[in-house]
Amino acid sequence: MKILKENPIYGFCMVVFPLLAMFFFTSLLADGLPQDLPVGVVDLDNTSTTRALIRKLDGFQNSKVAAHYPSVAEARHAMQENEIYGFVYFPKGTTSNLMSARRPKISYYYSNVSLAGGSMVMKDLKTVTTLGSAAVGMATLRAKGATDKQIQAFLQPIRIDLHQVANPWSNYNVYLSTVFVPGIMMLFMFLISAYSLGMELKFNRGKEWIEKADGNIVVAILGKYLPHVVVFLLLISFYQFYIYHVLQFPHVGSWAMILLLSVLGVFGSIGFGIFAFGLMPSLRMSMSICSLWGVLSFSLAGSAFPAMGMDAALQAVTWLFPLRHYYMLFQITVFNGYPLIDAWFHLVALIAFTLLPWFVIGKVKNAMLTYVYIP
Amino acid sequence: MLCLLMSIFHKFIQAINDAAFIWRQELKQVLRDEGVLMFCILVPLAYPLLYSWVYNNETVHEVPVVVVDMSHSHQSRQFVRMCDASPDVQVVSYATDLDEAKSLVSRQVAKGIYYIPEDFATKLNRMEQSTISVYCDMALMLTYKAIYQTAMTVSTKMGAAMQVALAGNYTDREDVITVSPLEVEEVSMFNPQAGYGTSVLPAVLMLIIQQTLALGIGLAAGTSRERNPYGDLVPVHPAYSGIYRIVGGKALCYLMVYAVMGAYLVMAVPKMFSFLQIASWQSLLALMTPYLLACIFFGMTVSCLVRYRENVILLMVFISLPLLFLTGVSWPQSSIPGVWQGVAWLFPSTFGVRAYLRLNSMGASVGDVALELRCLWIQVAAYFGMACLVYGHQLRESRRHANLPA
């Protein structure tokens, strides 16, 4: 069965492309959080107070003051030209009105067209404007003779102590690469599983293949996919090793869980690929189905836009995607390190995907023995 | 002189005729081949609807949260009530301690925990700063944001009420100034509800155009190769005699199909799901013309590189997701490392998506996206040149096989 490895496409799809995807995502998101996003300033006041705030904004990790604009219209235009993600506007007289308690109004504008960029910029702009407001209160209270502790308690009576469990830096690399890279690998598992069966049919090697296994389709399938399983397991293990050991992604769950997850992911995906071919024993149709299914997985896994936000019917549909179960199992047992029993449903679902070919095995055999490839 | 003109004219007419013939042949082939039909017609029709449906709700509301209230005070209950009343968070359960709350999160009943310590009210009444701990499940950024921001907003609001009570002001105006001496106005432009669909969907739509075009052209090329006795891309036929005729004829066929599909994707789909749509049809036309052409020639170039029709699926499907990231929608463009920025320039989708987003979602004018449009036209020229080169090669190959003079 290992003769099949001659076709270079296998080498590409089972090793080169997945590795490429792995390095693509981990290097693209290497910063973890978008840093030094360009932000603009419209400072019509131009006093030491506003300049101090602008310096503060520039000092934040996520934002960088890229340009000053003479008017709001020009700053907006710069946003449309993709130069900045947001800007802060100080109208003329801000400082003098602030000093004389006339409550001036400053504004900040940001664009959420790029969600990650927009929310980062928004956070910094919000913080810096809040600081500006607090500075006044602080100065007043200090003049009245309040202690630092009293000032803090007055300005912010309730403090929110945020615990970002398992990803304290809200690192996007940890958040996205852990799901999308396995997703791409699973996509290849789908496709290659269907492809390898289809190629048997296309080049009329099906009969020969079944005969080698003495007419036993179970043996034939197992024999055919053994090398696939080994290669993909090595691949996904290397990936897990790379992100958790080399890149030091946080994982609360144990290595045993990570391995279990990898094994289930590989088996479930290959099972799905064979099933897709069994449903439609034609190379073209089964591969189309697999690719469409695989691409949809990324959305319906619910890792970026949560499944709970989708319509109820779609929430049920997500169960049909192995990546959804992979993601749930990953986040419950590996990412958060909760007990496996809380993810039992997804565990069972992945096992079920592994066993799916059972239903179509007869059809595959029939196809191999009797079908003729129609281009 | 007239004779020469006439002969040039005749040649020209002949070329147009040949191109039209190839156009018809290609169209026939597209309509006959179910694989191509699926990717060129069915997928562009159905996928946008599916994606729109997925992202139609835009944001998450009522994220389930479990509360551990150790304080059991008037203030703590007020905090919980206010959080529960907010649009983004819903208090689904009360737990007696953190461990119980954690097990609820583990069972996916809740996505976060609000922990209010015993001394919460005591400290507030003593005019000391008190703390509420927020624990978020970081597996989902959107729920984390909802849980954290709601807690922040509610605590600020409660804090403001306390400030007013403490300050001992006489007038309402004084109260307002005490709470916020500086009025801050937050303006979220172009995507005010921070909707996920509004942000991602335009990019997905544009990407669908490029990917299905490349897949369709690749599959069609694979089929004609397999039909051909020598495995050649270009059949031996008098009409298939010039490179430009072949490339032009084939491109016309796909342009015809995708003029309709493109209009459907950028005009009809956003309307159906009432997504943001600011761009005028003139500016969309200015964008879509170079984009479609660039995609078609890109697809033709790629199609010559694969031998079996199925291999193109393996290649194009794989790059879909990385391409989406390279456009700068999910990950800000300014944070993409230089190497990948360079790689991104190779694909029409990068510029197409960027220009479309800014025209359609941000109300930019054609002048604002001039850079992207220019890049697209350069890509049209470059990929047209490359398509001609590879087809020229294919043409020579097939002539060699047919023993015709090159």
* ipTM value for the complex: 0.89
Nearest CA-CA distance, residue A161 and chain B, Å: 5
Domain end point (choices B150, B179, B208)? B179
Of A82, A94, A296, the CB nearest to B358: A82
Q: Which 8-state DSSP code applies to residue A159?
A: E
Residues B48 and B90 in one domain: no
Query: Which chain A residue's Cα is nearest to B144?
Result: A164
Give yes or no: residues A225 and A266 share one domain: yes
Cα–Cα dist B322/B340, whole Å: 10
B215 vs A288: CA distance, rounded Å: 10
Same domain, A196 and A93: no
Q: Which of B179, B206, B231 is the last residue of a domain?
A: B179
Whole-angstrom distance, CA of residue A227 vs CA of residue A6? 13
3-state secondary structure of B90: strand
**Whether residues B95 and B131 fall in one domain:** yes
Cβ separation A112–B194 shorter than 8 A: yes
Q: For residue A364, which amino acid is it? A: V
Last residue within a domain, chosen from B125, B154, B179: B179
Residue A24 and residue A41 in one domain: no
Whether B322 sits inside 8 A of A331 (CB atoms) is no
The order of strands in the sheet holding A105-111 is: A63-68, A37-43, A86-90, A105-111, B183-189
Tell me how far apart the alpha carbons of residues A82 and A103 are, in angstroms, rounded to a whole number.
33
- Whether the predicted pLDDT of A375 surpasses 60: no
Same domain, B160 and B201: no
Say yes or no: B137 and B76 in one domain.
yes
> Is there a single domain that holds both residue B212 and residue B134?
no
* Chain B, window 155-194: residues with a beta carbon less than 8 angstroms from a chain A beta carbon: 155, 158-159, 162-163, 166, 176-178, 180-192, 194
Tokens coding A183 = 């997703």
Question: Which DSSP letter does residue B368 get?
Answer: G
* Beta-carbon separation of B184 and A106 below 8 A: yes
Whether B41 and B70 map to the same domain: the answer is: no
**Which pLDDT value is given to residue B406?**
43
Confidence class for position B57, pLDDT limits 50, 70, 90: confident
Nearest-by-Cβ selection for B361 from A30, A85, A113: A113
Is A164 a domain residue? Answer: no
Q: Are A8 and A60 in the same domain?
A: no
Q: Which residues of B touch A375 (CB under 8 A)?
A: 223, 226-227
Residue B206 resides in a domain: yes
Among A174, A100, A179, A187, smallest CA distance to A136 is for A100
Nearest to A306 among B140, B223, B368 (CB): B140
How distant is the Cα of A365 from the closest Cα of chain B, in angstroms?
A: 22
- Given an 8 Å threshold on Cβ–Cβ distance, is A107 in contact with B187? yes
A142 and A184 part of one domain: no
Please report whether residue B317 resides in a domain: yes
Asked if the structure places residue B10 within a domain, the reply is no
Residues of chain A contacting B357 with CB distance shorter than 8 Å: 113
Q: Compute the distance between CA of residue B212 and CA of residue B198 in angstroms, rounded to an integer.
A: 22
B366 in contact with A, Cβ within 8 Å: no
Q: Do A139 and A176 fall within a single domain?
A: no
- As a whole number, the mean pLDDT across chain B is 85
Q: Would residue A375 count as lying in a domain?
A: no
Q: Is the pLDDT of residue B385 over 80?
A: yes
Enclosing domain of residue A327: 2-29+171-370
pLDDT at B390 over 60: yes
Counting the structural domains of chain B, the total is: 2
Across the interface, whether the CB atoms of A332 and B108 are under 8 A apart is answered: yes
- Which of A338-352, B207-221, B242-256 is least confident? B242-256
In this prediction, residue B132 carries a pLDDT of 94
Instruction: Find out whether A248 and A167 touch, Cβ atoms under 8 Å.
Output: no
Question: What local confidence, expressed as pLDDT, does residue B1 receive?
Answer: 64
Give the integer Cα–Cα distance in Å for A80 and A25.
Answer: 28
Q: In this complex, which of B51, B129, B132 lies closest to A152 when CB atoms are compared? A: B129
Looking at per-residue pLDDT, the higher value among B154 and B251 belongs to B154
Same domain, B237 and B371: yes
Give the minimum alpha-carbon distance from B286 to chain A in angstroms, rounded to a whole number.
17
Percentage, residues of chain A above pLDDT 70: 96
Task: Tell me, yes or no, whether A131 lies in a domain.
Answer: yes
B66 bridge partner residues = B93, B113
| Contact predicate B214/B302, CB 8 Å | yes
Instruction: Say yes or no for a CB contact (<8 Å) between B313 and A180.
Output: no
- The CATH number that applies at residue B87 is 3.40.1710.10
Higher pLDDT, A281 or B351: B351
Q: Considering only CB atoms, which chain A residues are within 8 Å of B227?
A: 375
Let me know whether A240 and A91 are in one domain.
no
* B291 in any annotated domain: yes
Interface contact A294-B317, CB threshold 8 A: yes
Residues B73, B51: one domain? no
Q: Are A157 and B57 a contacting pair at CB < 8 A?
A: no
A85 and A22 share a domain?
no
| A51 located within any domain | yes
Confidence band, pLDDT 50/70/90 cuts, at residue B237: low
The answer on A8 and A81 residing in a single domain is: no
Report which residue type is found at B295.
Answer: C
pLDDT tens figures, B110-124 = 999 999 999 999 999
Q: Within this chain, do residues A202 and A219 fall inside the same structural domain, yes or no? A: yes
Does B189 reside within a domain? Answer: no
B342 by Cβ neighbours in 10 Å (0-12 / 13-18 / 19+) ranks as: exposed
Tell me the nearest-neighbour CA distance from B363 into chain A, angstroms: 7
The answer as to whether B6 is a domain residue is no
A110 and A136 part of one domain: yes
The structural domain count of chain A equals 2
Neighbours of A129 (CB within 10 A): 23
Enclosing domain of residue B396: 19-56+195-401
The residues pairing with B132 across neighbouring beta strands, listed in sequence order, are A160
More confident residue, B57 or A55: A55
Average pLDDT of the residues in A252-259: 88
Residue B230 sits in the same domain as residue B325: yes
> Do B223 and B339 reside in the same domain of the chain?
yes
Give B4 to chain A, closest Cα distance, Å.
47
* Same domain, residue pair B41 and B87: no
Best to test chain B binding among A50, A57, A113, A342 (most B CBs inside 10 Å): A113
Spatial separation of the C-alpha atoms in residues B125 and B332, rounded to whole Å? 45
- CA quadruple B261, B263, B265, B268: dihedral sign: negative
Nearest to A9 among B155, B199, B311 (CB): B311
Residue A161 lies in a domain: no
Beta bridge partners of A158: B130
Residue B3 included in any domain: no
Per-residue burial over B21-43, b if 16 or more Cβ lie within 10 Å, else e, is bbbebbbebbeebebbbbbbbeb
**Is the pLDDT at B78 greater than 90, yes or no?**
yes
Specify if A310 maps to a domain.
yes
Q: Are residues A82 and A186 in the same domain?
A: no
Measured CA to CA, the distance from residue B268 to residue A39 in angstroms comes to: 34
Q: Indicate whether B270 and B315 sit together in one domain.
A: yes
